[in-house]
Amino acid sequence: MKKNISITGKNSFIGHNIISNLINCDFTEIDLVGTVVSKIDFSNADAVIHLAAIVHQKKSIPEEIYFKVNSDLAFETAKEVKKQGVQHFIFFSTIKVYGDGGFEDITFNEESKCNPLDGYGKSKLDAEKRLMELADADFTVSIIRPSMVYGKGVKANMHLLSKLVNKLPVIPLGGIHNKRSMVSIDNLMITLEAVINKQETGIYLACDKYPVSTSELVKKLILVINPHKKLVNLPTGVQSLLRIVFPFTMRRISGSFYVDASETHKKLGISSKLVDMDVGLRKMLGKEII
């Protein structure tokens, strides 16, 4: 029997993929903008997936705005969902609750201490704590912390990197030995479906099985886009200098953010189902999978 799932937050990249990929569910999208939460009927839902949020903005916005939407609204919605007798609330958080990563080789997991550094990460962590207080024997709260998501139609950093590889004949991003956790939209959907079916309160990490360095990622993109392009090393000395002059940019390029999701994969029983990054990148770029 199909489950009835309500999704808060309309027209999002992840929401679109949930509706397209989880064929064993019937979905209702709910737009919370300008809507009084107490007037929304959730009663027919088997579960509610909360996607509505303010993510990173190009323009700086006050931290209280992040908290108002990402924490207060999530908590208000969950309370109403519980009041109406729905038994499962799934909250999409972020690995940014751990911080921004860095040049150190640190591994995070479900039990790691959180140390968010910006309004986005802080508000998501605040929401997690408040939502967990609502959980009881009759109300399951599942927290999903996705790594950087990639897939067809994605924007942000992965989109920019793909455009760079497509445009330049020579890409000077070789010799970078960091560890970055990412998650293909396919693997995110596999994780979500298992969370829906398991229906247990807890924190779940959404990541591909293995991390990747920036150089390895560029190599994979080159193979898909144009194998004739060249990847050249960025000398260690130059990397060190750039880290001093442009620390924020270099943290994005050569910093590590490794999240070990092996416990989540084991708990959900999905290790053998996860697809390789090569498959995810080909789908993202609209290339035929051989």
DSSP per-residue codes, 9-69? STT-HHHHHHHHH-TTEEEEEE--TT--GGGS--TT-SEEEE-------SS---HHHHIII
The enclosing H or E element of 161 equals helix 156-167
Active site residue 120: yes
Burial of 207 (0-12, 13-18, 19+ CB in 10 A): buried
Cα(89)–Cα(40) distance, rounded to whole angstroms?
A: 15
Query: Radius of gyration over alpha carbons of the chain, in Å?
Result: 20
Select from 257, 262, 227, 280 the least CA-distant residue to 106.
257
Cα(28)–Cα(50) distance, rounded to whole angstroms?
A: 12
Residue from 98, 120, 204, 258 carrying the catalytic annotation: 120
Cα(146)–Cα(155) distance, rounded to whole angstroms?
A: 15
Cα(78)–Cα(129) distance, rounded to whole angstroms?
A: 12
Q: β-strands 258-259, 182-184: how paired?
A: unpaired
CB 45 within 8 A of CB 5: yes
Cα(98)–Cα(244) distance, rounded to whole angstroms?
A: 23
Residues with active-site annotation: 120
